[in-house]
Structure 1
Amino acid sequence: MKIKEAKFLKSSANYEKCPPANLPEVAFIGRSNVGKSSLINMLTGIKNMAKTSSTPGKTQLINHFIVDDKWYLVDLPGYGFAKVPLSEKAKWEKMTWDYLLNRVNLMYVFVLIDMRIPPQKIDLDFVKKLGQSDIPIKIIFTKADKVKTLEGQKNINAFREALTADWAIIPEYFITSAERRTGKVELLGLLGEIFEADI
């Protein structure tokens, strides 16, 4: 797949205010500051389409982008650490799960994991809950350029091993670097398969 055009469409405070579910969509989510916006910008080839920030918790709404007038790309708030009150984080969490459980045109959720660090309970718990909710997922390991290859692969292997406690079949995964555009071709190929099969 080659993305010709991608543009911001709408930010929504809950799934009921999202754009009409008349096109298929995929959503991107991960722990705060995992590199989600940078990855979205890399995939679309549009610098600053998704706002990047070194401050965790930058994305606070459900952000819809429309791609080639054929499908939606959704940027969801990160989970985990953010410099906001607990009540605000709880509101984000409810908004996100309401979306994940009720958005009828959602094809896949791409869960971003920082491959520089060993498996984190918060990531494993989130992926487990997605599985228990029968939400189709793919895993994207980010920041490959910021870790030595052997160390990064060790963390990936440990994460996948930890998933075996709850998953009979481990979700497909990809290794990416927004800086070096690693994984872009593979992810665009997957998106092509997803949407060409559905459209």
Structure 2
Amino acid sequence: MDSPLIIRSAEFIKSAVRPESYPSGHFPEVAFAGRSNVGKSSLINCLVQRKKLVRTSRTPGQTQLLNFFLINGTFHLVDLPGYGFARAPMKVRAQWGVMIETYLTRRQTLKGVVQILDARHPPTPDDLNVFQWLHDKRIPVIPVLTKADKLTKSQWNFHIKQVSLSLGIPAAEIILFSSATQQGRSELLQKLAGWVSLPEDPVTP
């Protein structure tokens, strides 16, 4: 089992659109993807224990760039623009798609994607298409169901099984998460620790 990942620092580095603007260096990276209203920003803020590291908005579709954050000075967390925002102009959505696909297929330091879905609803066609595309490209994916606090405990297993069948993966691979209660935070951090291959802290004699 991977060692727990402790978040000690988190800072915004830069926003980018094209590969030549990505941060330099060889830090491993984890990308976060999800529909525009799925609670991605809240999840990231909960994960790093910073209330405003990623700005949240009541208007879906506000993240239009690739946003890079340096975590613990050892790896990047990358906030991808939300997909499936129907109110955005088609031309804008097409540009987002190219930008995201270019990053996911060309970034050699990318270790995997955390795909965020709404626990209250079945995966949308966009959710399924993104998951299948990542699978086809052999990019590791961790499905995370947010807003678990909006469901009763008796509903959790039903919704996890529903997503498991839709994605065609074991239920054990799915993390149930709540930014409000921090449910699932430790489990997700543990999985990310394996991706970013953090060295152990040196032992002080």
Fold-level match, TM-score > 0.5?
yes
Give structure 1 stretches of 5+ with no counterpart: none
1:5 maps onto 2:6 in alignment: no
CA distance in 2, matches of 1:75, 1:82: 20
Structure-2 change in CA distance of 1:145 and 1:20 (3 Å): same
From 25, 29, 34, give the equivalent of 2:29. 25
- Number of aligned residue pairs: give it: 196
Percent of paired sites with the same residue: 40
Contact kept, 8 Å, 1:137 with 1:171, in 2: the verdict is no
Corresponding position of 1:196: 197
For residues 60-82 of structure 1, what are the alpha-carbon distances to aligned partners after superposition, in whole Å with 9 as ceiling and x for unaligned?
10000001110000000010025
Contact kept, 8 Å, 2:160 with 2:171, in 1: the verdict is no
1:16-95 to 2 correspondence within 5 Å?
16-95=20-99
SS in 2 for 1:159: helix
CA distance in 1, matches of 2:135, 2:73: 30
Corresponding position of 2:181: 180
1:69-148 to 2 correspondence within 5 Å?
69-148=73-152
CA distance in 2, matches of 1:82, 1:11: 23
User: Per-residue deviation at 1:15?
Assistant: 3.0
The letter of the residue matching 1:100 is: L
Structure-2 change in CA distance of 1:172 and 1:15 (3 Å): farther
User: Per-residue deviation at 1:171?
Assistant: 8.3
Deviates more, 1:22-31 or 1:186-195: 186-195
Contact kept, 8 Å, 1:31 with 1:78, in 2: the verdict is yes
CA distance in 2, matches of 1:139, 1:78: 15
The letter of the residue matching 1:123 is: D
Give structure 2 stretches of 5+ with no counterpart: 201-205
From 156, 159, 176, give the equivalent of 1:155. 159
Contact kept, 8 Å, 2:161 with 2:171, in 1: the verdict is no
- Return structure 1 stretches of 4+ with deviation > 6 angstroms: none
SS in 2 for 1:118: coil
CA distance in 2, matches of 1:7, 1:123: 29
Contact kept, 8 Å, 2:30 with 2:112, in 1: the verdict is yes
CA distance in 1, matches of 2:59, 2:135: 29
Q: Specify the structure having the higher radius of gyration (Cα).
A: 2
Contact kept, 8 Å, 1:15 with 1:95, in 2: the verdict is no
The letter of the residue matching 1:182 is: Q
For residues 41-97 of structure 1, what are the alpha-carbon distances to aligned partners after superposition, in whole Å with 9 as ceiling and x for unaligned?
001111110011121101110000001110000000010025321100110111001
Corresponding position of 2:203: none
User: Per-residue deviation at 1:198?
Assistant: 7.7
TM-score (norm 2): 0.89
TM-score (norm 1): 0.91
Give the aligned CA root-mean-square deviation in angstroms: 1.9
